[in-house]
């Protein structure tokens, strides 16, 4: 029997595991102002992250209001902030996850990035669990909130 590590889960966790994901990623920053645990550090990461996602949408001609993105800040033992994120398949207008990954990797120059197509063989629970483990500050996009609502309606109807 395998053992599982349980983390302080996202308040959105139950909804996150219902989503079909296209991309999983982790972003770090070189600049210490962006790694700080302060409100200013969190605000700076938020702005950089959402600008990064908006740039991807513009480059790939995606309607940002339909792209489902989950973003959570996490801090390492040295209290350096980084971001975990997921991008949902719904709302991608046929853009393949591989193309998303290539576009995102090409456009991240602020630090290190680990971005890959979501690996369903690891299980939806595993990816959503890792991306939302110990979130210190989390934000779903409007597109993701739309998916949460759509899933809630389907849960009631079916």
Domain membership of residue 4 (yes or no) is: no
- 68 contacts 151 by C-beta, under 8 angstroms: no
Stretch 1-26: mean pLDDT: 71
**The pLDDT value given to residue 85:** 93
Place 4 in a pLDDT band, splitting at 50, 70 and 90.
Answer: very low
Domain membership of residue 3 (yes or no) is: no
Rounded percentage of the chain residues whose pLDDT exceeds 70? 81
Quote the number of domains for the chain. 1
Domain membership of residue 38 (yes or no) is: yes
Q: For the chain, what is the mean pLDDT?
A: 83
- Say which CATH number the domain at 67 has: 3.40.1310
Q: What is the pLDDT of residues 112-129, one digit of tens each?
A: 889 999 877 665 555 666
Domain ranges, residue 83: 13-157
Q: For the whole model, what pTM was predicted?
A: 0.83
DSSP 27: E
Domain membership of residue 59 (yes or no) is: yes
Give the list of residues 6+ apart from residue 21 with CB closer than 8 angstroms, or none: 86, 87, 88, 89, 118, 124, 127, 128
Q: What is the pLDDT of residues 79-93, one digit of tens each?
A: 888 898 999 999 998
Question: Residue-wise over 57-90: b if at least 16 C-beta within 10 A, else e?
Answer: beeeebebebbbbbbbbbbeeeebbbbbbbbbbb
């Amino acid at each position: 029997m395998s053992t599982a590590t349980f983390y302080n889960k996202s308040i959105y966790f139950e909804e996150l595991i219902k989503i079909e994901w296209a991309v999983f990623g982790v972003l770090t920053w070189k600049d210490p102002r962006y790694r700080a645990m302060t409100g200013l550090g969190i605000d700076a990461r938020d702005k950089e992250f959402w600008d990064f996602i908006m740039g991807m949408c513009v480059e790939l001609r995606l309607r940002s209001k339909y792209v489902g993105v989950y973003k959570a800040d996490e801090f390492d033992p040295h209290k350096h902030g980084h971001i975990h994120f997921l991008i949902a398949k719904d709302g991608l207008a046929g853009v393949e996850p591989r193309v998303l990954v290539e576009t995102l990797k090409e456009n991240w120059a602020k630090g290190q990035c680990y971005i890959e197509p979501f690996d369903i063989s690891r299980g939806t629970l595993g990816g959503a669990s890792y991306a939302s483990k110990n979130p210190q500050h989390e934000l779903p996009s409007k597109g993701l909130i739309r998916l949460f609502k759509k899933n809630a309606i389907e849960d009631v109807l079916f």
